[in-house]
Amino acid sequence: MKTVSSVSRPVKAWLAWAGICLLAVLCAAVQRSGFAATSIAGQAGRPAVVPDGLEDPVEPLRPVQQRSPAERDRLDALAMFAAARTHERRGQFDRALQLYQRAWRSDPYAVEALEAIVPLAHRLDREDVAIRYALSPHAGPLEPLVLRRLAIRLTEREDWHGALALYEKALGERLGRPETLADVLLHMEMGRLCHLDGDYAKAAQCFGAVLAALKEPDKYQIDQKVQKILVGDGPHTYLLIGECFALAGRLEEASAALEKARQLKADEATLNYCLARVRFLAGDSRQALEMLEKALTKQLPDEGVAPFELLAQVLEKLGKQEELIGTLEKLYAAQPDNVPLGYFLADQYRKKHMPQKAVSQYRALLRVVPLRSACRDLLELLASQQDVEQLLEVLGEVYDSAGVLETLGAEGQTIAGDPSLMAQLAEAARKRIDKQPDGLGYGACLALALLALESEQFPLADEFFQHALKARPDRAGHVLLLWGLGLLVGERTAEAAQVFRRGLEDKTLADRHSLFHFYLSGALAAEGKHEQALSHIQAAVKLRPEMPRYQSRLGLVLMRLGRYDEAATAYVKLLERFGNDYSSAETREAVREARMALSHLAVLQNRLPEAEEYLEQVLDEFPEDPGAYNDLGYLWADQGKNLHRARRMIEAAVEAEPDNSAYQDSLGWVLFRLGQYDQAIVVLEKAACGRPDGVILEHLGEAYLKVGDRARARQTFARAAEAYRKDKEEEKARLVEDKLKTL
């Protein structure tokens, strides 16, 4: 396959060389852990038997010169690539995809394998898998149509960066200079995405290429139908292009695009706003103000607050910034339903220290269109004013209108982080309730309860959750789940369990009982009550067998109980039901967790080939998963095989999580196995910082011993034995102590 130095060679040349090597590779593959020995989930750990049809065994060829690790990896990749081609021709697409994935993993420069993975994964409706491989930094030229489809999928998810990366791969070196109609279409899509992503320079580059192509329609076969696809809503498109040119500093091209928009009868107000921006960027603030004043006589709903921000900039440039609020007030009086203008005016009141006007404006607007940012600004303003009564009212309004307090992170911390303010709010709330039982609404009660959780005032949270339940008994399921989950996050597991039990006792909440069972099992497991946890997760699975995360939790609880065979059965059932279900990210994550757990269980029972196979399956789907990289690399290192590949994988894991001591230990151990003892010591010493486990310390002791530092080896082995005993691993402790006796 193509290496860095041979990427430009035609595929035919590579395939010819592959054919020469194939016979030797296939013979060697029987004895090595190559493609022929790779098993599927149900056959993991059982080496494949390849009958040769001969009476006498075939003696393997003995090379005069041993191959390097990189050469061996490359040969493994070639063998798997050839087998994948065969399976693909037979219509066995699942197996073909798996072998292509492993060929690429064996040789990270196996570009042909990667070229096969992306379209095949897409064909099998495994879009996320295709996207992960397509985004690989090693990916060479891939089919532009497939990349475009995947980019559209990412665009639908509002993943602009990922979509842009795929479009750039589709264009390759042709970015900015299209050669075909397909290139022109890609440039148009990229331009729009770059605009959304805020990369106006690249957007202008892409749009410039499109406009240049439109001037030569015959060269690019641009007929009226294609032009309609490119330009779409002509005036709007040219306004967008003009805006990107302006923000990229390409002012002449911006003016030309806007003139084209004028010719196509663009909305006059929007056009004047865009022209005002161009004139301001050109340094002509007076003319910019004239055009902006014309634009602002009408609402510009697609522009948000940007026109008013431009107005503030223009007035400041002209030294008239004191006129801003008056101008905004006049505009708002004429356009009282202009929500962006109203919020911008409220923000100016706040910044100019006009709190009463700001609060009034924010509250009126939040009743109409609640915005998270406005909630934050209003709450912070009232908190800074220590206006307890009004803050209490606004908390209720904010929650009732948008339920925003459920996810109000930083916005709520201003209040929750002030113990004095929290105490005043609680006291004011109690007075209202004492005066009239329903004097404090549901929203205010729940908001206070959630803020109390945020500030870790758990008794206060309990008090106001109870009030919220009284205010809205019909919302009991929602309230109890919020309450219990908040306690779980706060590590108040026993109290959380009590709340979830309340949910199960309420027969009117039968439709949510599976959730209460699920979360209760988690709380009980955290308390070490695994038998009770097991009964509740079993109940959850029975109620909702279609939920993969419930089945995954069942396996986890069984593992913690030491019932490994039953745990394995639960995870295998999960794989049987959901292994080929690619309908949601949640399902795929549950499948990944199941395979990781099954690998761990196989290691505990010393079924190492099976453990490796499950990790390989994780990496087939998640090619850069650091946990699977580490675990598989460690298994190989511990067995002294595939050491260079193991090192490459573990280094990738360490790069992803540099502070993970387990990954550092794996890296140190593979360096030890490679005979690089001094480097191993440096890495293992880093892993042993803090509270190292017995394995890390034992590895470090072995490294000290290899460099002849017997004193430090003895000291470290003694620490390892102590750590093993602390973790109740008596057999490991005894073995280390036996080793100490020989030193």
pLDDT tens, position by position, 729-743:
999 999 999 999 988
Per-residue pLDDT of 439-465, as tens digits, reads 899 999 999 999 999 899 999 999 999
Q: Taking phi first (over 0 means left), then psi (-120 to 50 degrees means alpha), and beta for anything else, what does residue 319 get?
A: left
Query: Diameter of the chain by CA atoms?
Result: 100
CA nearest 598: which of 620, 578, 569?
569
Res 47 pLDDT > 90: no
- pLDDT per position as a tens digit, 337-377: 999 999 999 999 999 999 999 999 999 998 888 888 888 88
Which string of DSSP letters, residue by residue, matches 571-589?
Answer: HHHHHHHHTT--S-HHHHH
Contacts of 375 (CB under 8 A, 6+ apart): 366, 398, 402, 404, 408, 411
Among residues 138, 162, 158, the alpha carbon closest in space to that of 150 is found at 162
Least confident range from 181-185, 414-418, 666-670: namely 414-418
pLDDT of amino acid 56: 65
Share of the chain above pLDDT 90, in %: 76
Instruction: Please give the pLDDT value at position 137.
Output: 79
Pick the range with the lowest mean pLDDT from 43-52, 521-530, 541-550, 663-672. Answer: 43-52
Which residues touch 618 (CB under 8 Å, ≥6 apart)?
A: 592, 595, 596, 599, 625, 627, 628
Residue that wins the pLDDT comparison between 34 and 706: 706
User: What is the number of alpha carbons within 13 Å of residue 117 lying toward its C-beta?
Assistant: 32
Question: Would the pLDDT of 112 be above 90?
Answer: no
Distance of alpha carbon 459 from alpha carbon 457, whole angstroms = 6
CB 399 within 8 A of CB 372: no
Write the Ramachandran bin of 491: left for phi over 0, alpha for psi from -120 to 50, otherwise beta. left
Q: Please check whether residue 524 is in contact with residue 534, taking contact to mean a CB–CB distance below 8 angstroms.
A: no
In the predicted model, is pLDDT for residue 52 greater than 80? no
Integer angstrom CA distances of residue 508 from 319, 350, 521, 535, 647: 65, 46, 21, 22, 56
Confidence of residue 542 (pLDDT cuts 50, 70, 90): very high
Per cent of the chain over pLDDT 70 is: 90
pLDDT at 31: 34
Q: How confident is the model at residue 404 (pLDDT cuts 50, 70, 90)?
A: low
Report how far residue 690's alpha carbon sits from residue 702's, in angstroms, rounded to the nearest whole number.
19
Q: How far is CA 115 from CA 100, 165, 582, in A?
A: 9, 16, 21
Q: What is the pLDDT of residues 262-285, one digit of tens each?
A: 999 999 999 999 999 999 999 999
Count of alpha carbons within 13 angstroms of residue 83, beta-carbon side: 24
Work out the pLDDT band at 109, boundaries 50, 70, 90.
confident
Distance (Å, whole) CA 394 – CA 378: 8
> What is the model's pLDDT at position 58?
66
pLDDT digits (tens, 9 = 90+) for 298-312: 999 889 999 999 999
CA angle 556, 557, 560 (to 5 degrees): 90
Q: For position 327, what pLDDT does the model report? A: 97
- At 714, the pLDDT band (50, 70, 90 cuts) reads very high
pTM of the model: 0.83
Query: Residue 547 and residue 514: Cα distance in Å, rounded?
Result: 10
Average pLDDT over all residues of the chain: 89
Band of pLDDT at residue 678, cut at 50, 70 and 90:
very high
CA distance 176 to 187: 8
Model confidence at 576: pLDDT above 90:
yes
- Determine the pLDDT at residue 551: 96
When pLDDT is cut at 50, 70 and 90, the band that residue 466 belongs to is very high
Q: Which residues contact 541 (CB under 8 A, 6 or more apart)?
A: 547, 550, 551, 554
Instruction: Answer yes or no: is pLDDT of 150 > 70.
Output: yes
* Other residues' Cβ atoms within 10 Å of the Cβ of residue 165: 19
Contact 431, 402 (CB under 8 A): no
Spatial separation of the C-alpha atoms in residues 190 and 174, rounded to whole Å? 13
The rounded Cα 661 to chain-centroid distance in angstroms is 23
Residues 120-139: what's their mean pLDDT?
91
Alpha carbon 36 to chain centroid, angstroms? 34
Least confident range of 338-347, 392-401, 526-535, 589-598: 392-401
Q: Residue 162: CB partners within 8 Å, gap ≥ 6?
A: 131, 135, 151, 154
Place of tokens 């499109």: 210
The number of CA neighbours under 13 Å toward the Cβ of 265 is 1
Contact by Cβ (8 Å): 599, 614: yes
What are the tens digits of pLDDT across the range 69-98?
888 889 999 999 999 999 999 999 999 999
What pLDDT is attached to residue 140? 67
Lowest mean pLDDT: which of 98-112, 314-328, 530-544? 98-112
User: What local confidence, expressed as pLDDT, does residue 406 receive?
Assistant: 54
**What pLDDT was estimated at residue 699?**
97
Round to whole Å and give the CA distance between 18 and 99: 16
pLDDT, residue 103, reads: 95
Higher pLDDT, 3 or 430: 430
In the block, tokens 């306690």 appear at 487
What pLDDT was estimated at residue 370?
Answer: 84
Instruction: Indicate whether 11 pLDDT > 70.
Output: no
**Per-residue model confidence as pLDDT tens digits over 152-186:** 999 999 999 999 999 998 888 888 989 999 999 99
